[in-house]
């Protein structure tokens, strides 16, 4: 199942995406930028 | 009207005058000539139809086009000079590239050595700042980027913002791109970044077949590689071999379009039909018989050197391929990876690259394979890595020794200087300084290449148009003159 994460700005999204790629090189990962959310991570 | 435009900049949307190797010039800044002439030589415009579709397009873009068309989406690859014909209707612009910002080798290396930005990243910037792209963005079109250089966007977040990139897709994109484009067309929220993991990689029969011609007739025969070298992302993908029927359908597409030759593409053509590191003669011979049925000129993308040695010593397979493909005075080129001349470093970063031989034997595997290819008039264009974090001074010395031992064999050796990823966060990353030993290694490669260049240019350019032949000959003589001072030769 794809790892799905939300970030509250672009720079944070880049950081989260890099961290997740390093940790899960074989998994599907998606990172959304949601300006009006609280910036917390939501893993499906 | 085309809802989804697939495009890229001129350094990619070109067939390099039918000479794939000239494409390397697009990874460098112009040397000894103005930029317009450098671009004319390395990245000429291609003929297009009335819609602005180029007659050949990069294979990766053709795969995405095929995936979208198979999903019933109105998509087409459009030449960057003809975007205006579609831009007011376009809802999605999908862009691919193999080196968006010249951060990958060899572009990064030329940038470090010359201090000048290579033409590929300049050309890409011009594409993104074209009025047509800006207008499409203003109209609400979504911009999706991908391809082998997708990772580079992670180091350029300010450009994601500036150019309004909506989604970056990193990995084999055929399935995920269809999903994201459908979301874009229906106005759903798009992720900013996607990594395509094992669950989203297309299986063999989910890989779409190209519907229009690819640059220089390139067709994929396998995807993935079992060798698991640490510096290479291809090994993260499962190994899949196309069936001969799938390959034939793509050969037919190129033949129908009038392309004059084909390039069989895989990370190791000699492992076609094998589920291990041992080449199997039967599928490889059948593959080449099939390709020859359609084209007189058949080329290869990549071989592994251990497979060359094993295939010749056990089956005389290289001799058979050479007989099948080459006429009397001809050569055929192929890309190979030496990467290092150090058994210690080979054990650390590419322990399976020498298989079925041991990593300790790597330098002799390289020499044996070069010797076999020299005799059979197969010309390797080899990469040699320097600058990776595990490399020690002794490793560079071993690589230098190996380059010296390869002098008798007709070949090109291209050093790949790796800029550490950590440095890429700094906008002045290209001021990274190679060590003296690394510079010595790069000079040794240049010395080797200049030793063979006249012989190779005579063959490679014999059917090129006279103006191109003259331009490249002048360029080579200027490089030789400059190098004679620099290299003391």
* Contact (Cβ atoms closer than 8 angstroms) between residue B157 and residue B132: no
Do B375 and B455 fall into the same domain? yes
Q: Report the domain count for chain B.
A: 2
Query: For strand B4-7 and strand B92-96, is the pairing parallel, antiparallel, or unpaired?
Result: parallel
What CATH number is associated with residue B141? 3.40.50.280
| Closest CB to B192 among A18, A25, A32 | A32
Same domain, B177 and B240: no
CB contact under 8 A, B197 and A29: yes
Report how far residue B208's alpha carbon sits from residue B262's, in angstroms, rounded to the nearest whole number: 19
The answer to whether residues B182 and B288 belong to one domain is no
B171 phi and psi angles, rounded to 5 deg = 130, -175
Q: Give every strand in the sheet of A29-33, ordered side by side.
A: A3-7, A29-33, B193-195, B165-170, B142-146, B92-96, B4-7, B75-77
Query: What ipTM is given for this predicted complex?
Result: 0.86
pLDDT digits (tens, 9 = 90+) for B305-343: 999 999 999 999 999 999 999 876 688 999 999 999 999
Instruction: Identify the band that residue A39 occupies on the pLDDT scale cut at 50, 70 and 90.
Output: very low
The alpha carbon of residue A9 is apart from the nearest alpha carbon of chain B, in Å, by: 10
Share the mean pLDDT of chain B: 91
- Write phi, then psi, for B169 (nearest 5 degrees): -110, 120
Predicted confidence at residue B175, as pLDDT, reads 95
Question: Can you give the CATH number for the domain in which B441 is found?
Answer: 3.80.30.20
Q: Same domain, yes or no, for B87 and B236?
A: no
The pLDDT value given to residue B439: 87
Residue pLDDT, tens place only, B225-271: 888 787 776 666 778 999 999 999 999 999 999 999 999 999 999 99
Q: Where are the alpha helices (DSSP H) in B329-435?
A: 343-349, 362-375, 393-405
How far is B2 from B75, CA to CA, in rounded Å?
Answer: 6
Choose among A1, A24, A31: nearest Cβ to B193. Answer: A31
Q: Are residues B182 and B255 in the same domain?
A: no
Min Cα distance A36 → chain B (Å) is 13
Domain span at residue B156?
4-200
What residue segments make up the domains of chain A, in order of their start? 3-33
Please give the model's pTM, rounded to 2 decimal places.
0.91
């Amino acid at each position: 199942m794809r790892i799905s994460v939300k970030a509250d700005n672009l720079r944070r999204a880049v950081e989260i995406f890099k961290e997740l790629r390093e940790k899960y090189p074989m998994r599907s990962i998606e990172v959304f930028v949601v300006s009006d959310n609280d910036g917390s991570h939501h893993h499906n | 009207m085309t809802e989804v435009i697939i495009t890229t900049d001129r350094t990619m949307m070109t067939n390099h005058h039918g000479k794939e190797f000239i494409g390397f010039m697009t990874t460098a800044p112009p040397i000894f000539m103005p930029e317009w002439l450098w671009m004319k030589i390395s990245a000429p415009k291609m003929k297009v139809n009335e819609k602005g579709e180029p007659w050949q397009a990069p294979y990766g873009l053709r795969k995405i086009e095929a995936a979208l068309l198979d999903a019933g989406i109105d998509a087409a690859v459009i030449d960057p000079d003809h975007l205006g014909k579609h831009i007011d209707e376009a809802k999605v612009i999908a862009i691919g590239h193999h080196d968006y910002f010249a951060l990958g080798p060899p572009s990064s290396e030329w940038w470090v050595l010359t201090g000048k930005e290579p033409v590929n990243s300049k050309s890409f910037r011009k594409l993104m700042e074209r009025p047509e792209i800006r207008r499409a963005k203003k109209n609400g079109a979504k911009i999706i980027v991908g391809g082998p250089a997708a990772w580079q966007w992670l180091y350029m977040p300010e450009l994601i913002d500036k150019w309004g990139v909506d989604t970056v897709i990193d990995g084999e994109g055929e399935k995920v791109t269809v999903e994201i484009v459908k979301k874009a067309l229906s106005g759903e929220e798009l992720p900013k970044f996607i990594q395509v993991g094992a669950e989203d990689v297309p299986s063999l029969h989910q890989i779409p077949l190209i519907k229009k011609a690819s640059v220089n007739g390139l067709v994929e025969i396998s995807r993935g590689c079992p060798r698991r070298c640490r510096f290479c992302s291809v090994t993260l993908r499962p190994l899949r071999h196309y069936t001969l029927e799938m390959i034939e359908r793509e050969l037919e597409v190129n033949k129908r379009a009038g392309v004059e030759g084909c390039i069989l593409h895989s990370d190791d053509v000699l492992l076609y039909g094998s589920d291990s590191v041992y080449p199997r003669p039967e599928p490889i011979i059948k593959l080449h018989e099939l390709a020859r049925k359609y084209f007189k000129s058949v080329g290869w993308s990549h071989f592994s050197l251990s497979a060359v040695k094993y295939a010749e010593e056990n089956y005389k397979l290289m001799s058979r391929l050479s007989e099948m493909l080459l006429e009397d005075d001809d050569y055929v080129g192929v890309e190979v990876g030496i990467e290092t001349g150090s058994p210690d470093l080979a054990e650390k970063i590419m322990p399976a690259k020498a298989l079925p031989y041991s990593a300790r034997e790597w330098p002799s595997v390289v020499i044996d394979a070069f010797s076999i290819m020299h005799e059979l008039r197969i010309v390797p264009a080899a990469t040699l890595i320097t600058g990776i974090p595990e490399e020690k001074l002794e490793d560079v010395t071993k690589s230098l020794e190996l380059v010296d031992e390869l002098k008798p064999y007709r070949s090109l050796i291209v050093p790949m200087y790796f800029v550490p990823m950590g440095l890429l966060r700094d906008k002045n990353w290209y001021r990274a300084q190679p060590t003296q030993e690394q510079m010595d290694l790069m000079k040794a490669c240049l010395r080797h290449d200049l030793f063979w260049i006249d012989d190779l240019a005579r063959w490679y350019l014999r059917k090129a148009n006279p103006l191109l032949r003259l331009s490249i000959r002048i360029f080579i003589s200027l490089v030789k003159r400059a190098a004679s001072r620099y290299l003391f030769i």
